[in-house]
Structure 1
Amino acid sequence: MATSVVHARLAATVSLLALSIAAPALAQTAPGNDATVVEDIIVTAQKREESIQDVPIAVSAFSAESLDALKIEGGAELVRAVPNVTFSKANFSMYNFTIRGIGTKAISASSDPAVAVSFNNTPLIRNRLFEQEYLDVNRVEVLRGPQGTLYGRNATGGVVNMIPNLPGPDFDALLKAETGNYGSMRGQMMVNIPLTETFSVRAVAGLTKREGFDQNTFKGTTVNGRDLYTTRLSAAWEPNDRFEANLIWEHFEEDDNRSRTGKQLCTTDPGPTKVGKVTITSQLIRNRLSQGCLPGSLYDDAAYGVPNGGAFAHIFLASLSFGNDAQGKTIVGVPLGTDPYAGVTQSRNLREISTSYDPVFRVKNDVTQFNMAYDLTDRLKLISQTAYAEDAYYSSQDYNRFVSNPIFSNTDGQRDPFGKLIIGPSALPGGYYTDPQLGTSNRMLSADVSQSNNRQWTQELRLQSDFDGRFNFSLGANYLDFKSQDDYYVFNNVFTFLAEYYYNVAVGLPANIGRQPLLCTPQATKECVYVDPTPIANLAGDGHNYFRSKNVIHTRSWAVFGEGYWDLTPTVRLTAGLRYTDDRKVSTPYPSQLLLGADRGNPGPMSGGYVSQGYPALPDIDQSWDAVTGRLVLDWKPVTRFTDDTLVYASFARGYKGGGANPPRVDINPKVIQYQPLAETFDPEYVNAFEIGTKNSLYDGKVRLNMTAFYYDYDDYQVSKIEDRISLNENFDARSMGVELETIFRPNRNFRVDANIGYLNTRIGDGEGSIDIMNRTQGNADWMVLRPWLQVPSNCIAPTKHVETILASSYAENFKTLALQGLCGGSQRTGSFDPNYASIVPLWRLFNFTYNPLTDAPNGGRGFEADLSGNELPNSPNWTANIGAQYTFFLGGWDLTVRGDYYYQGSSYARAYNTEYDRLRAWDNANLSVTLEQPDNGLVFQAYVKNLFDKAPLTDAFTNSDDTGLTGNVFTLDPRLVAFSVSKRF
């Protein structure tokens, strides 16, 4: 979108907003308008029922009717109704819901969401409230800003609280059916039955099925479809006026081919043609000096390229000689210099991919909640909330969203050094290889699996007062126990090929070329790498022929809190709250073991591993923190001539979110391979938040106008990036400031306008830095990026002069490549760079220089830090705005309502480095709906269009690891959806 168009649309939004505020003056002069008051919403933002206009917190709340009018059918769509909010799916099993620039950018099994997601006031660390669709909702509340007293430890950004409808004393029932494009079918039902005067039950169910939005051109299938359902059963018992209890059980399940991520983009890096004075004519050398993808704009045509697959260490290793046959012919698995993606192109359509595997997406989630409230006296109430939740998640998809060329050599007719035909598992008949997880193919195949299993138990007790005097309070305590195991796998048939034929044959038993690979058992006398024979759908998980990140966490947290409310005068109230939180997290690290094996006598003589099979745990990482948080608020309800009701408030809040352990790295024996150290843990984050705001009702209730200004001072904000095949979490100081405006204008019962606008300004603190894996040299020509040995996960930098020296030599290309790899990560193959292991002679010492990246290169060879000072926080657009208008025609018993909504989100950055590669351009979205309702009979017909102009903006991006070429997974909106529904309430 051109900048002028963006500014014009934003100006139009602001103009309409101004008109909505000014228009009541005109409406007052027009008699007979039959004006209607803007409806009030009762919220529990302070864990007690209050009018939203009386709560001194920036909170947006939506009734079921409002959600339906806005066509907000799930948590992801709340961005269209709340200022300074963004949302995107995440690369693994979670999401990123950002409020005022603060979201869940930390990726770790031990990290907490910065925006707490609650089900009926119970926080859920893992949840599916942003994946399932709203069903029989009473209201959704979005609290902006840290809620460090009542909601606690992981609410530094805010809270999203979904409140379901509970059983009531009257019979009620609803049936709803919907159909739309993409073969969409939706259904909902609800029945509320009072069994006695004191006991009622309520049952609700909803399902959604639709075909996929995306085309897989390689297989001729549609992917990214949905097949899900939700059921909720609840019971309420109120035997007398002093006691009430309710029990809620909700089950959500999904089983479809929804894609966890979107298309994969890459600006191809062909590798340098010249280093110093040396011109590079060898494609093999150029490939090995390429990082796969360059940091170009995601909006350029070049971004729809593919990585330079010749840069991959596993492809290079598979092309090295396994030996010679009886005729002296070199036996290799992959021809030397192969680029699996040479000549492969991508469609520029973000909804079109080309993959060998359609996605698999499965979720089961159960939440059970038991609530009791007992009036100890007429003025004191004791409340208990108990909840138990379980979540099982499994997602698998092609690791790349494009297909490689055929790559394997054909062994038909080839003979081994003993003159025997190459047969059995060592053979590549017709150039095809069979991988136990990925199947048979002549191409390079790669897929991933992200899965998690967790459970959570919480208990909260609160004592609340309701005195007639000037003082009231809320006291409470809670406990949380959370256990989780997260696994992330990456499979590649070249990994398995290397395990079987490079390590288990060529290295383990050189004489066995062309014969059975070494049987990798605990009794094996040679080094071996265990190959898991089980299929991907029923994986044993103990193989070293794939990457596995296993993360186990146990979190226990308890807190005591209190909040007091003093009416200093009839119009001035002071709110003061404190919370003490004690967190303990125990992480059990299971280092990854990709292509690592062991020799009983001399651990890891070739691969650098300690074990051949399984994933032994390292000692637990036991972390604990305590924190005092809270808030102080002064609010005033002045009587003015120009408003009906006004609240002015100023607040200070302190928020806290616990730290954690970074995922475990590769378990490499330093006597064999050395690589750079990384932080094992990351720190908690803290925020001091200052806020002023005002809430107003004007013109006899026709207008609601709420405004807020805020300033955040953040210590150690947690941000993640992929480095060394793990999600490395770092801490940055930052600040965030902005203003927000929300308004509703209803001059008469026919017409309504609602709008919001948010301005946000975020800055990372001075002196903060981080290594950008897309640009490790930071433009310093004296240094170059190099590819490492296979077991070393990340690229490194080395002096350009040393690279030039190696390239200028007369050695063979293979030897030069191995020497270059030795500059990146020392090994028995390439030579140690650690003087403690001088018995391993580095190859590069043959070129008459010495080099140890641990001491001679910045940050141990990882690269130069990028200066982040003054950069914007990720996913923090300067502007968000929404305006919606509806008009109702009353047609003698029928109400016809036409509504339109327009949303705008300004540009932002996907990463903290704020480069052109990180930029996410501004985007907008429009929706329309027409509703025909017969209120007396509860009959409703509705047609709607979402994403009217069928736009596919980039809403976020995620950069993958060095050893897979630094590709970027991108996310976008759903396409244009058209649907028609009918519902009947009984």
Structure 2
Amino acid sequence: MRAIATGRACLKAGVSTAVLVLAGGAAFAQSADETETENERRFSGDVITVTAQKREEVIQDVPIAVSAFTAEDLNLRGIEGGSELLRAIPNVAFSKNNFSMFNFSIRGIGTKAISAASDPAVAISFNNTPLIRNRLFEQEYFDVQRVEVLRGPQGTLYGRNATGGVVNMLPNLPETGVFGGSIEAEVGGYDSRRLRGYINIPVGDTFAIRVAGASTQREGFDYNSFTDRHVNDRDLWSTRFSALWEPTERFSASLIWEHFEEDDNRSRTGKQLCTTDPGPTQVGSTTVPSGLLGGADMGDLFQNQLSQGCLPGSLFDDASYDAPNGGSLTIVRASSLLNGQGVTADGTRLDIPQVGTDPFAGAVVSRDLREIEAAIDPRFRAENDVFQLNLAFELNDGLTLYSQTAYAKDDFWSTQDYGRFLSDPVFPDTSLRVDAGGNPAPTPMSPGGIYTDPQLGASSRMLSADLSRSDNSQWYQEFRLQSDFDGGFNFSVGANYLEFESQDDYFVFNNLFTSLAEYYYNQEGGIGFSSPCDENYKAGSPPSATECVYIDPTPIDNLAGDGHNYFRSRNVVETRSWAVFGEGYWELSPELRLTLGLRYTDDQKISTPYPSQLLLGAQSDGGPGLSSGGYTRRGYQADPDVELGWEALTGRAVIDWMPDLSFTEDTLIYASYSRGYKGGGTNPPRAEINPEVIQYQPLEGTFEPEYVNAFEIGTKNTFANGRGMLNLTGFWYDYEDYQVSQIVDRISLNENFDARIWGLELEAMYRPTPDFQIDGNLGYLNTRIADGEGSIDVMNRTAGNEDWTLVRPWVQVPSNCIAPTDHVETVLQMAPAFGILSSWALSALCGGASRFGAFDPDFDTSFPYWQFFGFTYNPLEDAPNGGRGFETDLSGNELPNAPNWTLNVGAQYTFHLGEWELTPRADYYWQGESYFRVYNTEYDQLESWENLNVSVTLMRPRDGFVIEGYIKNVFDDAPIVDAFTNSDDTGLSTNVFTLDPQIWGVSVRAAF
């Protein structure tokens, strides 16, 4: 039997701690007359037990790299939610992602795949139930028993999606025979107000209920200088009801219901940065033409068309605080070329906007990461419910059957300004236009220079917003038979079943989309109400005449979702998974133990693809008209289901030894091998396009599952009568098909890369006296992508090859392409004669809108534009990767969000003031440099950052009365902790994420 003293090493740290600081100076030494009995009493009260192996064990006895945080630990360190756990665990990184979830990364392995069909790599569990979708990193901890973080693959007991590790939050359950509770109130900076509390009520001798709750309200951390409002505030609350029934010593049942709700203007992402790409003034030996061409003023049309919007400059340079080249955006170019609103009496053209201009030319971007200039404030709503029923039957002495049943429901809705750059006015005053006779003409579009979009409202500027919403449900059942015999062998065997259903929708709105659909494609007039558009059907053959693109008239708050005047990615996925597992524990001797585990998993994923339909419609019989390239006038018809399945064997083998050493009280040395698995999935579908109009570059429709073979050695040590703890871990991973996403063709394209990872972790705590504690952790991580791996960098598609030039496509083609420089030169040289036709020809080099038939059915549809310019070219066959660009060699690059170093050091001292105890504490965290993409360029680099938090706690132990004050982010730092590259057709701007600002708070807690 392992000595209980091993648990003393956890003490109040109870966490992975690093950097052992041995400070036994006289200033902190106890007086000689303090008895050893008092020391024993005060040290022995801090034993931490965990369920890392789904059985209660002292943390230092578990041959796994695991961190455990009690409610007191979380409170002392100011860890209010899952996003702050990185400050107390080595080799952990955290950031929100661009949509509705997050990336919690352990040892370089996180969730960089953001498809609706992808799964998290770190399993998030509530009371040992895995939750594929959850709000555990948005809601705040309350009435927590402890939080456990397991590092490394946990494929045997925790199963699928635990390749990186596990985060398990265990709530407090009711206690029979005990009445009590607690209430806590807090006020602080940004007008923050918090309430937390619980009450435990026994009912008879065998039944008890517990009700707990928490709420947070505060003003926004960020300032929108355009609307003059603070945004990114919080208004959220949680409640938990639990009941426990223990009618006999051999049976117990517990029921838990937890509800979370939020309704505020939380920002999903931070500020948007861009190093402006003005576009080239010369291609090869040819000067890019501008101004008066082909009888019309083209402005900088061609220079803009050869600009990608933003350059891949460092996010930490002043140049990155600019706006994209708005004239390069395909929707701006399409609107200005197609959506002319006539002329004024003096002959001034009423284009939307003027051809060759940049709508962002007047944008002002603050250097403050907490200040944005956006026309639309964010809004955020989330609601989550978890129901769990746990049963335990002790079949006989030492053998228990466990049943865990859980149902979870998660709903999410969030909108915010998509560009976060304020455009100049782009809509002309159509009340000024005249007819051919010079008389006032009808003004149907933007009288007074104001255009009203059904989703975005009225404005003279270009407005853009996105909407991310999801509706998910999960059912989970596990049965487990577990032994606790006195002999040398024990086991845990079981089976579980998971069913998860999800619908994720992502929308992008732009009032130029709507105006183009309304006044150009919908030639029969009316904002979405012309009768052909109301016919929701899919044409049986390529359309041939009058176009119709349906405009959804409903507001964004109650969106019908069937319009084609916005981008919609609709993703419906169903996952069904079952597994059987077993793990055995052999005591080979009093000091030596062997653990062997194996798990078989069967995964099935069914994806229902709904192609996107931005500015796509269908034509009925009738006169000639411009074809958008679509088949569907209104709504989103599903393609056939895509069914994928995988079978995986995972497991682990561990040998651990507890030698009797003279310089420690308890030592555990272990070596382990474990194998992890995470399922693959489908990439979201692209638009449904008539190939006679748009020729798409080829992309993979699915991505592969991940597998990892992990080898780990470690030692856990306690010494100095339980006053010190020193844990060391080394690990090496062979990773196969790590999943990473980037935005391509307006979808999240998931790619797979093999990688190798190794690292070291040091965790330490020392308490020279019962009142003084120093703790910390240090992590080193070395990640390398395998040789031969490659990917196309959307920020650098030519890879520096001067024989190829980046070109902007037509509006229905989402991604930029590369074209031969000599062909681009040829088109530019003939632009003075051909004028606007040269712009179509440049677009045709991308394979989109490359045939005259796309614009005029009287032309031969086999005759492409560029034949006017004297060359023959098929981009899908003659260009690298179908025109997408050159692959960048990733061999030896670091994985994203895998900082080489992490460091945390904390210290606290308790002063005894009569019946009061005063405990000040400080925690310092430092994270080294890393990258947010696999390309490891200057643009991808994230600089090192640090964070200091301090707190003071005044407690009266006899009645549990506590007063606490804290300051987080003492130096008010605003580092860029992660970033996300947006799509080609929005200029390749970058969403960045930062820390919360300096905040303070004072709370009072009373127990009863």
Matched, 1:442 2:460: yes
Partner of 1:529: 549
C-alpha change, 1:27 and 1:562, in structure 2 (3 Å) is: farther
Partner of 1:797: 818
Tell me whether 737-746 or 515-524 shows the greater mean CA deviation: 515-524
After TM superposition, give the deviation of residue 343 of structure 1 in Å: 2.7
Amino acid at match of 1:535: P
Distance 1:644 1:234 in 2: 40
After TM superposition, give the deviation of residue 816 of structure 1 in Å: 1.5
Is the contact made by 1:825 and 1:832 (CA closer than 8 Å) also made in structure 2? no
Distance 1:452 1:513 in 2: 31
Identical pairs, percent: 64
Q: Which of 932, 943, 948 is the matching residue for 2:965?
A: 943
Q: Which of 483, 486, 490 is the matching residue for 2:501?
A: 483
1:2-401 correspondence runs (5 A): 20-21=21-22, 23=24, 31-32=32-33, 35=39, 36-37=42-43, 39-169=46-176, 170-282=178-290, 283-321=300-338, 332-401=351-420
Distance 1:330 1:949 in 2: 54
Matched, 1:850 2:872: yes
After TM superposition, give the deviation of residue 418 of structure 1 in Å: 8.4
Is the contact made by 1:828 and 1:840 (CA closer than 8 Å) also made in structure 2? no
Q: Which of 901, 904, 919 is the matching residue for 2:923?
A: 901
Is the contact made by 2:386 and 2:409 (CA closer than 8 Å) also made in structure 1? yes
Q: Deviations over 1:143-179 (max 9, x none)?
A: 0000000000110000000000000121111010000
After TM superposition, give the deviation of residue 325 of structure 1 in Å: 6.8
After TM superposition, give the deviation of residue 32 of structure 1 in Å: 4.4
After TM superposition, give the deviation of residue 661 of structure 1 in Å: 0.4
Q: Which of 567, 572, 575 is the matching residue for 1:552?
A: 572
Matched, 1:572 2:592: yes
Q: Which of 459, 477, 483 is the matching residue for 1:465?
A: 483
After TM superposition, give the deviation of residue 135 of structure 1 in Å: 0.5
C-alpha change, 1:322 and 1:49, in structure 2 (3 Å) is: closer
1:400-799 correspondence runs (5 A): 400-416=419-435, 421-423=440-442, 426-505=444-523, 520-522=533-535, 526-600=546-620, 606-799=627-820
After TM superposition, give the deviation of residue 666 of structure 1 in Å: 1.0
Is the contact made by 2:123 and 2:167 (CA closer than 8 Å) also made in structure 1? yes
Is the contact made by 1:605 and 1:672 (CA closer than 8 Å) also made in structure 2? no
After TM superposition, give the deviation of residue 40 of structure 1 in Å: 1.8
Partner of 2:906: 884
C-alpha change, 1:26 and 1:653, in structure 2 (3 Å) is: farther
3-state SS in 2 of match to 1:569: coil
After TM superposition, give the deviation of residue 878 of structure 1 in Å: 0.4
C-alpha change, 1:830 and 1:66, in structure 2 (3 Å) is: farther
Q: After TM superposition, where is structure 1 displaced by more than 4 Å over at least 4 residues in a row?
A: 16-19, 21-30, 32-36, 321-331, 416-421, 512-519, 601-605, 828-833
After TM superposition, give the deviation of residue 830 of structure 1 in Å: 5.8
After TM superposition, give the deviation of residue 841 of structure 1 in Å: 1.9
Distance 1:550 1:349 in 2: 35
**C-alpha RMSD over aligned residues:** 2.2
Amino acid at match of 1:95: F
Tell me whether 780-789 or 36-45 shows the greater mean CA deviation: 36-45
Is the contact made by 2:518 and 2:526 (CA closer than 8 Å) also made in structure 1? no
After TM superposition, give the deviation of residue 514 of structure 1 in Å: 13
Distance 1:168 1:534 in 2: 51
3-state SS in 1 of match to 2:534: coil
Is the contact made by 1:338 and 1:407 (CA closer than 8 Å) also made in structure 2? no
Amino acid at match of 1:338: T
C-alpha change, 1:29 and 1:321, in structure 2 (3 Å) is: closer
After TM superposition, give the deviation of residue 600 of structure 1 in Å: 3.7
Q: Which of 866, 872, 893 is the matching residue for 2:888?
A: 866
Amino acid at match of 2:286: V
After TM superposition, give the deviation of residue 601 of structure 1 in Å: 5.3
Tell me whether 901-910 or 823-832 shows the greater mean CA deviation: 823-832
3-state SS in 2 of match to 1:695: strand
Amino acid at match of 2:253: A
3-state SS in 1 of match to 2:403: strand
Distance 2:429 2:325 in 1: 23
After TM superposition, give the deviation of residue 363 of structure 1 in Å: 0.4
3-state SS in 1 of match to 2:935: coil
After TM superposition, give the deviation of residue 37 of structure 1 in Å: 2.8
Amino acid at match of 1:527: E
Amino acid at match of 2:420: R
Is the contact made by 1:598 and 1:604 (CA closer than 8 Å) also made in structure 2? no
C-alpha change, 1:33 and 1:72, in structure 2 (3 Å) is: farther
C-alpha change, 1:33 and 1:921, in structure 2 (3 Å) is: farther
Tell me whether 326-335 or 852-861 shows the greater mean CA deviation: 326-335
After TM superposition, give the deviation of residue 109 of structure 1 in Å: 1.0
Distance 2:162 2:279 in 1: 45
Is the contact made by 1:390 and 1:455 (CA closer than 8 Å) also made in structure 2? yes
After TM superposition, give the deviation of residue 724 of structure 1 in Å: 0.5
Is the contact made by 1:646 and 1:696 (CA closer than 8 Å) also made in structure 2? yes
Is the contact made by 2:586 and 2:593 (CA closer than 8 Å) also made in structure 1? yes
3-state SS in 1 of match to 2:839: helix
Distance 2:867 2:209 in 1: 79
Distance 2:358 2:626 in 1: 29
Is the contact made by 1:321 and 1:330 (CA closer than 8 Å) also made in structure 2? no
Is the contact made by 2:311 and 2:795 (CA closer than 8 Å) also made in structure 1? yes
1:943-962 correspondence runs (5 A): 943-962=965-984
C-alpha change, 1:779 and 1:831, in structure 2 (3 Å) is: farther
C-alpha change, 1:439 and 1:418, in structure 2 (3 Å) is: farther
Q: Deviations over 1:481-505 (max 9, x none)?
A: 0000000000000000110111112
Q: Deviations over 1:551-606 (max 9, x none)?
A: 00000000000000001111100000000000000000001000001124599961
Is the contact made by 2:339 and 2:516 (CA closer than 8 Å) also made in structure 1? no
Distance 1:308 1:630 in 2: 52
Is the contact made by 1:586 and 1:621 (CA closer than 8 Å) also made in structure 2? yes
Q: TM-score, normalised by structure 2?
A: 0.93
After TM superposition, give the deviation of residue 414 of structure 1 in Å: 1.7
3-state SS in 1 of match to 2:769: coil
Distance 1:414 1:513 in 2: 19
After TM superposition, give the deviation of residue 326 of structure 1 in Å: 11
Distance 1:326 1:286 in 2: 28
Q: TM-score, normalised by structure 1?
A: 0.95
C-alpha change, 1:160 and 1:418, in structure 2 (3 Å) is: farther
